[in-house]
Amino acid sequence: MPDGPVLAVRLVGSGEAALRMEKRLRCAGRALGVTVAVDVEGAPWGEGGPEVWLAGRRIADRLVDTSTLERLLRPYVGRAGSGK
């Protein structure tokens, strides 16, 4: 189990774009000092997405760069739960 704050996100998508988004989410979390726990769900429409959901809100509806993810995740960092 990770030490420190954990952000739990849901990633909906499949294919290479979803894999890239998962990696970028983890990198953005490291930059913000949190662990991003990614729950990957295959897109029902097949190759597509990816969408990122956090706290019941869709925060991204396409592949975005790591710095954009940092900006999107930052408001949630103070609410992240402890990994302990």
Say what percent of the chain tops pLDDT 70.
Answer: 83
Q: What CA–CA distances, in Å, run from 33 to 36, 47, 49, 72?
A: 10, 31, 26, 14
- Residues 70, 46: Cα–Cα separation, whole Å: 27
Domains of the chain with CATH codes: 5-82 (3.40.30.10)
Determine contact, residues 68/31, Cβ cutoff 8 Å. no
Residue 51 has a pLDDT of 94
Question: Over the stretch 37-67, which tens digit does the pLDDT of each residue have?
Answer: 999 988 665 556 799 999 999 999 999 999 9
